[in-house]
Structure 1
Amino acid sequence: MHSMLRRLGREIVCWESLTDPGRRSRLFNHEIALDTIKRKKGTEKVEALCLNFQCHTSDKLTPEDFESMANLRFLQLDHADIAGDFAKVFLNLRWLRWRGCPQHLQVTNFHLGNLTILDLSWSKVTKDWEGWDQIEMKNLRVLDLTGCADLLVTPKFSGYKNLAILILERCTQLVKIDHSISDLKCLVSLNLKFCIELSRLPVEVGHLTALKELLIDGTSVQDIPISIGHLKQLETLTASNCFSLSQLPRTICHMTNIILLSLDGSRIAALPDSIGELVHLKHLSLRDCRRLRKLPSSIGNIGRSLVELDMSGTRLSKFPDSIKNLQNLKVLRMDSCFFTEFPPDIGELTSLKEIHASWCRSIEGAIPNNITKLHNLRILRLRHLRISSIPTEIHQLSKLQILDLLHCNMIKELPRLPSSITVLYVEDELKSSHLP
């Protein structure tokens, strides 16, 4: 949220009761909130309460501190400790943020039947944390364990069958996901980004039939299980900077709803031919896959859906002939590749809006004339190429706004450029001497 909007909202809340904070709907200031509950001044009007002790305190919060706020829906208890019988205290609580929660709980009847979101990020919870058994939260939809560095193995998930979003990002010591993850039939998002010690995904991931988003960026995952082919609802799979990942399973072809596939920086040396069956794929990113030397010809089969293709930093030296079938491609990124010439069929990709081909040091000669057929082109970046000229008909590209020819030292003269250009990068000598 923008800080100005947040400040405006807080001012509006303060005007709800200028002299009695306990009659406001939200208590977002720690000192005011703590003073209100300790003096038992809270009322049914309070729906959100924020406490942040910065570090653990010896004081314990009790059920009596909260019982007057029956309509509490959001509670922040960062680094707080609680003790006592909490039966019928948090009946309407929907969202509990408890970062830095204690490892040992002194609570009974901690029933959170309506809890939807539990945020325990940056806490020292482990697989054996007492809260997994002591807190009843059968309707939980979101579990956020971001940055829980003591978590080696995930807890059992059997008690959270309504869970839709599971966030384990930056659990840097996590090495195993419990097999009970297969019980999460409602899970739509699984975030494992930067779990750097995680080297394998359990086969049971393939049982998450409702999953739409799987994020494993920055993990040590070596293989994606064949069972991933069962994830027919999956729309996003990102595995950027998975430096141990060397291949994709052929069963990826069964993930027919996938829209985004990102494998940036992985050790992928080849894509399976079955990738051509991903008929809804819109974004394919293979940036810095330095072992990748070619694309399968089947990539042309996704011509009706693919809108962005990023091959930058690969060892690709040639596109397959089927590249001309990518009729809906809007963004082509091929920076720092090993092409010796511009793709000869580039003019067939009439939907292209952006071409990024800088630092392709092997490209020589002239840019093909058929590039002038790209009437939708807005950005053309050719920095650090050894090209000798650009087509004289380039002025026909009436939508071209950015042209980057910086350090293209073989170009001695510029033709007439489109009047639509707003940003031009060329050497000063060329700009002063040859611009019309």
Structure 2
Amino acid sequence: MYLKNVVVLEFTGIDLLDDSRLRDLIEVARKLKVLSLKSCHSIMTTPVFSGCPTLERLTFEDCSILNRIDVSIGKLQCLIDLKIDRCCCLKDLPEEIGDLINLEHFFVQRCKVKKLPDSIWKLKSLRELYFSSRFLALTSTDLWELPSAIGRFQNLEVLLVNSPNLKGQLPSGIGYLPLLRILNLSKTQISELPKTISMLPRLQVLELMACHDIQELPVLPTSLTHLRVSSASLRKIPNLSNLNNLVRLDLIIVDEVDWEFIQTD
């Protein structure tokens, strides 16, 4: 197969494509810009990426035995889009992901990855960060918090973290993200939102479904159009009369005996 000038490689449902065959392809296709592997159930580890420095988009979707991302992924300085979805054997991400200085879109969903790598907070080019995990904490060391460094993400528009192991207070730096439109922290152990959240000038969607440690909400930005909250601990709701742009409001107060559901469309 002559791949010297190939810029897009997309494989779907190719079980004959194993680690060694993929490695051979990558070594030849040195001008590659897009690599997409979907339902390739013989891939256990990613190839060494140093041979494809021009790669811009990388996708691993429904690769059922994929369990390791090679550390050379950090050498992909042109990478803009990284998507990992339904790779149920993948439990860790390499810290070298933090070297992807041009990464704008980062999706890790429906995997067993324990947490985001600490280095992710160096990626100042990020516009969209989606992270949902099926990993349940075995010990307290598996719990994690969003760092104060999140305030450096000046280009961030979407922050979605749905991990049952995310805990604690949302850092005040979240209020200094001028472009943030969507904030979704559903199914987490987040316990408190900072007052600075009212300073977000473009926030339209705030979702805190199944956040059972949240007891009250601060004053919210007037830009909100969608607010969805459910909690077993919610005791205090702010005055929402300032939310003139609100088109959907879901407040679910969960009780051990029954549910109280207030919905406005």
Give the corresponding residue for 1:306.
126
2:80 and 2:104 in contact (8 A); partners too: yes
| TM-superposed deviation, 1:257 | 1.0
Give the corresponding residue for 2:246.
421
Residue pairs, 1:19-34, within 5 angstroms: none
2:215 and 2:236 in contact (8 A); partners too: no
| TM-superposed deviation, 1:320 | 4.3
Instruction: Sort the Cα spacing of 1:289 and 1:342 in 2 relative to 1 into closer, same or farther, 3 A.
Output: farther
| TM-superposed deviation, 1:306 | 0.6
Aligned partners of 2:237 and 2:261: how far apart in 1? 8
Residue pairs, 1:127-138, within 5 angstroms: none
Amino acid paired to 2:250: Y
Aligned partners of 1:274 and 1:400: how far apart in 2? 36
SS at match of 1:244: coil
Residue pairs, 1:86-101, within 5 angstroms: none
1:239 to 2:76 alignment: no
Residue pairs, 1:231-270, within 5 angstroms: 231-266=52-87, 267-270=89-92
Task: In structure 2, list runs of 5 or more residues that go unmatched.
Answer: 136-142, 253-258
| TM-superposed deviation, 1:294 | 3.0
**What is the Cα-based RMSD across aligned positions, in Å?**
2.3
1:298 and 1:322 in contact (8 A); partners too: no
Give the corresponding residue for 2:139.
none
Aligned partners of 1:313 and 1:420: how far apart in 2? 32
Residue pairs, 1:347-366, within 5 angstroms: 347-360=175-188, 362-364=189-191, 366=192
Aligned partners of 1:425 and 1:264: how far apart in 2? 28
| TM-superposed deviation, 1:322 | 3.4
Give the corresponding residue for 1:346.
174
1:229 to 2:57 alignment: no
1:296 to 2:117 alignment: yes
| TM-superposed deviation, 1:236 | 0.9
1:286 and 1:314 in contact (8 A); partners too: no
Instruction: Sort the Cα spacing of 1:296 and 1:322 in 2 relative to 1 into closer, same or farther, 3 A.
Output: farther
> Residues 2-53 of structure 1: CA distance to partner in whole angstroms, max 9, x if unpaired?
xxxxxxxxxxxxxxxxxxxxxxxxxxxxxxxxxxxxxxxxxxxxxxxxxxxx
Task: State percent identity of aligned pairs.
Answer: 28
If the length of structure 2 is used for normalisation, what is the TM-score? 0.82
What is the aligned counterpart of 2:99 among 277, 296, 303?
A: 277
| TM-superposed deviation, 1:352 | 1.4
Give the corresponding residue for 1:335.
162
Aligned partners of 1:240 and 1:342: how far apart in 2? 32
1:195 to 2:14 alignment: yes
Aligned partners of 1:219 and 1:204: how far apart in 2? 15
Give the corresponding residue for 1:58.
none
Amino acid paired to 2:50: G
| TM-superposed deviation, 1:245 | 1.4
> Residues 365-388 of structure 1: CA distance to partner in whole angstroms, max 9, x if unpaired?
x32212222221110011122211
Task: In structure 1, list runs of 5 or more residues that go unmatched.
Answer: 1-156, 158-182
> Residues 207-233 of structure 1: CA distance to partner in whole angstroms, max 9, x if unpaired?
21221111112212111121x222122
Instruction: Sort the Cα spacing of 1:373 and 1:367 in 2 relative to 1 into closer, same or farther, 3 A.
Output: same
Instruction: Sort the Cα spacing of 1:278 and 1:337 in 2 relative to 1 into closer, same or farther, 3 A.
Output: same
Amino acid paired to 2:228: D
Give the corresponding residue for 1:399.
223
SS at match of 2:9: strand
Instruction: Sort the Cα spacing of 1:324 and 1:197 in 2 relative to 1 into closer, same or farther, 3 A.
Output: farther
The structure whose RCO (Cα within 8 Å, separation 6+) is larger is 2
1:299 and 1:323 in contact (8 A); partners too: no
1:259 and 1:281 in contact (8 A); partners too: yes
Aligned partners of 2:185 and 2:148: how far apart in 1? 19
Amino acid paired to 2:26: V
Give the corresponding residue for 1:160.
none
Q: How many correspondences in the alignment?
A: 243
SS at match of 1:311: strand
State which structure, 1 or 2, has the greater radius of gyration over its C-alpha atoms.
Answer: 1
SS at match of 2:197: helix
2:170 and 2:190 in contact (8 A); partners too: no
If the length of structure 1 is used for normalisation, what is the TM-score? 0.52
Aligned partners of 1:375 and 1:336: how far apart in 2? 26
Instruction: Sort the Cα spacing of 1:207 and 1:319 in 2 relative to 1 into closer, same or farther, 3 A.
Output: farther
SS at match of 1:310: strand
Residue pairs, 1:199-214, within 5 angstroms: 199-200=18-19, 201-214=22-35
